[in-house]
Structure 1
Amino acid sequence: MEQLLQCAVYIRVSSDEQAKNGDSLRDQKEKGLDYINSHKNMVLYDIYVDDGISGQKLDRDEFTRLIADVKSGKINRILFTKLDRWFRSLRHYLNTQAILEEYNVSWTAIDQAYFDTSTPHGRAFVAQSMMWAELEAQNDGIRVRDVLANKVKYGEAITGKVPRGYKIENKHLVLSDEAPAIKDGIMYFLKTNSLRATVKYLSSKYNIHMSIQNLKQSVLKNEKYIGKCRDNLDYCPRLISDDEFAKIQDILSRNINVRSSQKHQYIFSGLLVCAECGYKLSACHINVTSKRKSGKVYKYRYPAYLCPSYKHSRACANGGEIRETRIESYMIENLRPVLEGVSIECKSTETAVVDNRAMKSNIRRKIDRLKQLYLDELISIEEYKADRLDLENQLDTIPDVIAPKHDTAAIDALLRTDFETAYQSMDNLEKRKFWRSIVKEIRVSKSDNRHRVFEIILL
């Protein structure tokens, strides 16, 4: 009696386009089951379906389960409609074919009967076909990228989803009627440094509703608001200036938002850094109990800061709380001398702003041309890899913009004011904004006599 073959039907669809072309999940399943029913020596073991996954990816859930069943000896034959349902990567195909041969498992492409893995000539033919399938898949990806790059180059919208404050006209982004409200919201964030407050402001004043995350990612971090998309610096009309955009990114990177429900608005949260271990100091408080001669007991609570590494594991020697008032006193007494020193230093070594973005765009175009030379077989793979690595290293080492280390004009303007006196009339939120407009971080260490030492690092 002929031995029954335990058959697996493998199905994969990566896009709606395949369904439109008659290769849908249902079509593939029906063909697999019909094939098994037409052969008396075959029975269905299981159906494996990977939906919405590219054939160039080896990490597919159902494919992984199928290979596990192959290794368990549960399957003798694998069925699929066409070879490109199985793989589009020659390397992945060869690796998997080695596993199938080890466990004596063959496969059949139902719609391509000339593929046969039971003979050496058949396997060689399949391997050659896989090479062309992989090349076609890669060319498809290159064509898509080239189309998108061309659209960006000529300022055309590449998606129907546009940033708030814009609309599409004649394939290009233009400012919409909502643009003034969005710009006002952005300016409000620059003024308050608060995502939550900006969301409430846009909702109450303009009836524009968005989440904090949406405001942060889709608006405040979106380069289209300065007219930029990828390498095109004039992709669309700008809504804000480069300086305003840079200030927003700096604010977001330093996470300076404050919870309005917090009883004490800590002035230096996020600015204090332990010079011993590198951790940012945590806000805390010091409880003090005082008993008077009359017998009356008074309890005081002072805002302070503490190294978290010392607090949780005593792993840092920089232990002990630091009162906020002590830090304030030090900063007010020492800020002016620090500013004066930096101003003198910058003026003696002042350099002009250097914008390297156009040069980096030219390097990226060279990489694209290099890729085309390789695809046209005008250079070898070794030459392509070496030249590409060299160009990518240039991109990594060249900054977009080289600017003077400090804004001397802003420093000199502050030195001309009596900020020490003005500071005394500020509330805690205003004090927070004041320090964050000047100081990048304050490094805290301990001297040999165990006293705290502060180092002011300006923006």
Structure 2
Amino acid sequence: MKRTQESEKLLHVAVYIRVSSDEQAERGDSIRDQKERGLNYIEEHHNMILHDIYLDDGVSGQKIDRDDFTRLMNHVKEGLVDLIIFTKLDRWFRSLRHYLNTQAILEKYHAAWTAIDQPYFDTSTPYGRAFVAQSMTFAELEAQNGGLRVADVFRTKVAHGEVITGKVPRGYQIQDKHLVLSEEAPAIYDALMYFLKHQSMNRAVDYLKETYGIIMTLQNFKQSLLRNDKITGRYRGNDSYCPRLISDEDFCEIQRILDHNINIKSSQKYPYIFTGLLVCAECGRKMGGCQINTASKRKDGTVIRYKYPAYECKQHRAYKTCDNGGQIREVRIEECLLKKLREQLGSYTADFETKGRKTVDNRIKKNQLRRKIRRLKDLYLNDALLLEEYKADRAELEAELESLPDIEPPSEYPAASIRMHNTDFESMYRHLDNQQKRLFWRAVIKEIRLSGRTGLHREYTVVFL
């Protein structure tokens, strides 16, 4: 009697659909086909009701980071889903490790799944789970072998300078399966040099449009040109993959500019001098610009209102997760830096001469970061981290990993810092506008770490380039 009652329990069912582009075209596992079979399956069982349909389009089964799969797992944890159905096991996973981790979560929250085209899979018994795990091993092997074959073909093509995609950066075109410079190349080169001079993507994109009639979005200009090492002739280990558009020195300088976030959104009314340079010493996040509004009353009764540019820790303001509260005026930062800069420059130069030039090997540190990313993913899969925490921590680790070269060559002698130390830069500085002041600070400073108040004072730690 108890068994009958359990079988008659109304089940909230999730239909999960996954396709990759090649499978949809070659094998007919279309979105419509999987959806219709899933809905028909629910219609045939009077104790089932559709909760929602989850679709991951163009995503490999070996990837765990799928948008709708993540949404589905969150609904499972909220107790909204009793049963997950899909057409075949390989729609669910092609990685044994991902399957086992996910299965543990499903069992914890009392959710089951069924492959409607493969009813012999049964996760309710030890033998059934063992059979599924064995099948996942072969599915994973098949997927990995297919990926290796494709990777080998691409590797051979790249080694011979052949294109493997139809998407090429502006200034290039495909000719006989190879990348060559197009008629736009001189214009693109000019725009890149314009960006190096003015250090503004907005101005460079406008210049490209007004001078040559070439229209690009900011994102496209950044990703397809400024961040694309193909413009140096390199691609996937082939140093002579295609003709070079700019020098290595110019490309490295572009990356430095981008990494220091010197570009301001076009909608920003006030050009904050220290945007991207100020870092909260308490939480390690960038500090953002804000305004301090004050007012004073004259003897005649009129009120004069003032607005002062300032900076604050956004983590403190928005979430109260940082103790570095309060706002600090931009003029106070300038005064402090100008007062300390000469002493800091002298100390920096002396320190450089004492320590000499050293080559830094970051490969061990990069491997440690990769292991941290893998451990972080395992923690999330085992329900030890929330999705928001996982994404935020992973993005931070990946950003640090991407910023580290394998080998850092010895630093160049700080000639610019020495010349500045020997000149009256304070007087020259006061005649600069805000854009020029931004360029001035970014020429010598990597970041400024700003601590919370100790009494009435804050501590500044300046890190030079």
TM-score higher than 0.5: yes
Instruction: Find the aligned partners of 2:60 and 2:193 in 1 and give their Cα distance.
Output: 43
Equivalent residue, structure 2, for 1:152: 158
Question: Residues 354 and 241 from structure 1, CA distance in 2 versus in 1: closer, same or farther, beyond 3 angstroms?
Answer: farther
Equivalent residue, structure 1, for 2:308: 303
Alignment partner of 1:265: what SS?
coil
The answer to whether the 8 A contact 2:360-2:407 is kept is yes
Q: Deviations over 1:163-212 (max 9, x none)?
A: 11111223222222211111211222222222222221111111111111
Asked if 1:339 is matched to 2:345, the reply is yes
Instruction: Find the aligned partners of 1:174 and 1:243 in 2 and give their Cα distance.
Output: 22
Q: CA deviation at 1:397?
A: 13
Asked if 1:285 is matched to 2:292, the reply is yes
2:308 is matched by which residue type in structure 1?
P
Alignment partner of 1:451: what SS?
coil
Equivalent residue, structure 2, for 1:228: 234
Instruction: Find the aligned partners of 1:283 and 1:129 in 2 and give their Cα distance.
Output: 57
Task: Give the number of the structure whose alpha-carbon radius of gyration is greater.
Answer: 1
Alignment partner of 1:168: what SS?
strand
The answer to whether the 8 A contact 1:347-1:408 is kept is no
Q: Could you tell me which of 306, 321, 334 is aligned with 2:328?
A: 321
Question: Residues 31 and 190 from structure 1, CA distance in 2 versus in 1: closer, same or farther, beyond 3 angstroms?
Answer: closer
Equivalent residue, structure 2, for 1:174: 180
Alignment partner of 1:229: what SS?
coil
Instruction: Find the aligned partners of 1:29 and 1:291 in 2 and give their Cα distance.
Output: 73
Instruction: Find the aligned partners of 1:49 and 1:455 in 2 and give their Cα distance.
Output: 49
Cα RMSD over matched residues?
A: 5.6
Equivalent residue, structure 2, for 1:217: 223
Equivalent residue, structure 2, for 1:380: none
Q: CA deviation at 1:88?
A: 5.6
Q: CA deviation at 1:301?
A: 2.7
The answer to whether the 8 A contact 1:346-1:406 is kept is no
Q: CA deviation at 1:162?
A: 0.7
Instruction: Find the aligned partners of 1:254 and 1:70 in 2 and give their Cα distance.
Output: 46
TM-score (norm 1): 0.65
Residue ranges of structure 2 left out of the alignment (5+ in a row): 1-12, 39-43, 367-400
1:329 is matched by which residue type in structure 2?
E
Q: Which stretch of the first structure deviates more once superposed, 9-18 or 342-351?
A: 9-18
The answer to whether the 8 A contact 2:292-2:310 is kept is yes
2:446 is matched by which residue type in structure 1?
K
2:242 is matched by which residue type in structure 1?
C
Equivalent residue, structure 2, for 1:426: 432
Alignment partner of 1:307: what SS?
strand
1:308 is matched by which residue type in structure 2?
C
- Equivalences for 1:29-68 in 2 at 5 Å? none
Q: Could you tell me which of 350, 354, 358 is aligned with 2:356?
A: 350
Equivalent residue, structure 2, for 1:199: 205
Q: Deviations over 1:345-378 (max 9, x none)?
A: 2123222667989xx9xxxxxxxxxxxxxxxxxx
Question: Residues 79 and 456 from structure 1, CA distance in 2 versus in 1: closer, same or farther, beyond 3 angstroms?
Answer: closer
Alignment partner of 2:441: what SS?
helix
The answer to whether the 8 A contact 2:313-2:325 is kept is no
Percent pairwise identity: 46
Equivalent residue, structure 1, for 2:251: 245
Q: Could you tell me which of 258, 263, 270 is aligned with 2:264?
A: 258
1:146 is matched by which residue type in structure 2?
D
TM-score (norm 2): 0.64
The answer to whether the 8 A contact 1:266-1:283 is kept is no
- Equivalences for 1:88-167 in 2 at 5 Å? 132=138, 134-167=140-173
Instruction: Find the aligned partners of 1:132 and 1:216 in 2 and give their Cα distance.
Output: 42
2:208 is matched by which residue type in structure 1?
L
Instruction: Find the aligned partners of 2:276 and 2:228 in 1 and give their Cα distance.
Output: 24
